[in-house]
Structure 1
Amino acid sequence: MQNFSTEKYSNIVTEIRDRIQSAGVFSEQNSAIFIETTSLQIRKILELIAYLSVLVNQDKLNHKDRGEWHAKKIIENLSNKTTVFYPLPSHIIYSQDNASQPVLIPQSYENSLSQSDFIKVYKRCGEVLHAQHPLKEILDIEIIFSENKDTLQRLRNLLQNHTIGIKHESNKYTFLSVAIDFTNDEKTKPSYIKEIKANIYNEQELISIFSGNYA
């Protein structure tokens, strides 16, 4: 892995959290302007999640792919090149004596935004951001209002505790363990990001850990 930056990852995580918090406020208002604003924020959040995947998979992408801004194309490009690239809802259990490796406990995408959900939501938000075409079917704002609220919760569930694999030289992998506190009061904790060393030396081993969770 060349030029991977934990700081860049952290900065994007901070922006994602801020946008999710703002979108949550907008999503409480059931009017066209606020629904469109919420959809815009969700689309930007999806772009930022795609950029996280680019950061940890630079070696799998050519120059053009690394500069891609369209989130759907980024996800599709990575899907064609690798299996493990998307944030995995999970928990890390650390040994009390630090003598053994941490254990990664994958969580289901049942209540989180999966890759297939990602593509659908990105497309839907794009449709909302355009003015209503007079010759096309009218968008149901009430449905979008409800779907936006559901999407925001799925995004929180995806990101609040997630892990993502990082490939280094000689097919050696590490994990980035991330925790984001989406509360908004005096007890809110800062986001936590830690790179964890692992005895994983090929992608098949990585896939076996993440298997069954990339629906």
Structure 2
Amino acid sequence: MSVEVNKYRKCLYDILKRTEVINHYIQGVKTTGYLGTDIELIALQFRKIIELIALSSLVANKKEYAAMRSKFREDWNARLIFQDLERVNPEFYPKPSKQIEKVNSEGVKYFEFEPIEAGYLSKKEAIKIYEKCGGVLHAENPFRESKDIMQLQKQFPFWIKKIMTLMNHHSIILANKNMVVGLMKGKNDGLPHVTLFGLAENQNIKQFKE
């Protein structure tokens, strides 16, 4: 497995801190003192979070992505990264789940991943939000119809909830069918954690069961 765990974890940490900033502004804990700049600041965080979701998937699929794009180190546009990742691994987008603790018949604890089927940020929604937020990051031409930033502001709480549902506990199936699992906030330290899982051969499965 060739996923660079530290780079993946760094992307998750950056997402985590930016969600905290968004929540502070949504809740009124912080303000720039002007509604326009508040909304622009939040919109910028949403764009960067979606870029980081794309870049974390790039990290997870670096080998295949780099083979297709020699200039992968220069990529930043989420929409274009999603398009290119789709070509090398159709399962590149994170899959949200819940980690359920269970106990087997012998009293041994283990975890199962229960898929989350709704309420998370889909790939299609991510691109729509990315483009909507990009639309308010430039000065408005006074001769054009004004953008309804208040309508945009009303959507922020729903977007952040969907992002956290997607990223809190998620997995990505890699092109080689291994899997990377990400946790945004560890129970003990409140920091992101990343684990790699590989396909077990028959002998390894037998030893694991024993």
Contact kept in structure 1, 2:97 and 2:113, CA below 8 Å: yes
Contact kept in structure 2, 1:54 and 1:66, CA below 8 Å: no
How far apart are 1:82 and its partner, in Å? 2.6
Give 1:127-206 correspondences, 5 Å limit.
127-167=135-175, 171=176, 173-181=177-185, 189-199=190-200
Which position in structure 2 is the counterpart of 1:209? Answer: none
For residues 27 and 133 of structure 1, the distance between their equivalents in structure 2, rounded to whole angstroms, comes to 27
For residues 92 and 174 of structure 1, the distance between their equivalents in structure 2, rounded to whole angstroms, comes to 18
TM-score, length basis structure 2 = 0.78
Which position in structure 1 is the counterpart of 2:204? Answer: none
Larger mean CA deviation between 135-144 and 119-128 belongs to 135-144
Q: Tell me how large the CA RMSD over aligned residues is.
A: 2.9
Q: How many residues align?
A: 190
For residues 115 and 199 of structure 2, the distance between their equivalents in structure 1, rounded to whole angstroms, comes to 16
For residues 123 and 47 of structure 2, the distance between their equivalents in structure 1, rounded to whole angstroms, comes to 14
For residues 168 and 99 of structure 2, the distance between their equivalents in structure 1, rounded to whole angstroms, comes to 13
How far apart are 1:64 and its partner, in Å? 2.8
- The residue type paired with residue 192 of structure 2 is S
Point out the structure with max Rg over C-alpha. Answer: 2
How far apart are 1:120 and its partner, in Å? 0.2
Given candidates 99, 117, 121, the residue that maps to 1:113 is 121
Contact kept in structure 2, 1:27 and 1:35, CA below 8 Å: no
Larger mean CA deviation between 20-29 and 124-133 belongs to 20-29
Quick check: 1:88 aligned with 2:95? Answer: yes
SS of the aligned residue for 1:112 comes to coil
Contact kept in structure 2, 1:92 and 1:177, CA below 8 Å: no
Quick check: 1:36 aligned with 2:40? Answer: yes
Which position in structure 2 is the counterpart of 1:56? Answer: 60
Given candidates 96, 117, 133, the residue that maps to 1:125 is 133
Structure 1: runs of 5 or more not aligned: 201-215
How far apart are 1:124 and its partner, in Å? 0.5
- The residue type paired with residue 26 of structure 1 is Y
How far apart are 1:132 and its partner, in Å? 1.1
Classify 1:53/1:92 alpha carbon distance in 2 versus 1 (closer, same or farther; 3 Å).
same
Quick check: 1:75 aligned with 2:82? Answer: yes
Classify 1:32/1:14 alpha carbon distance in 2 versus 1 (closer, same or farther; 3 Å).
same
Contact kept in structure 1, 2:13 and 2:191, CA below 8 Å: no
Structure 1: 4+ residue segments shifted above 6 A? none
TM-score, length basis structure 1 = 0.77
Give 1:12-27 correspondences, 5 Å limit.
12-27=11-26
How far apart are 1:165 and its partner, in Å? 2.0
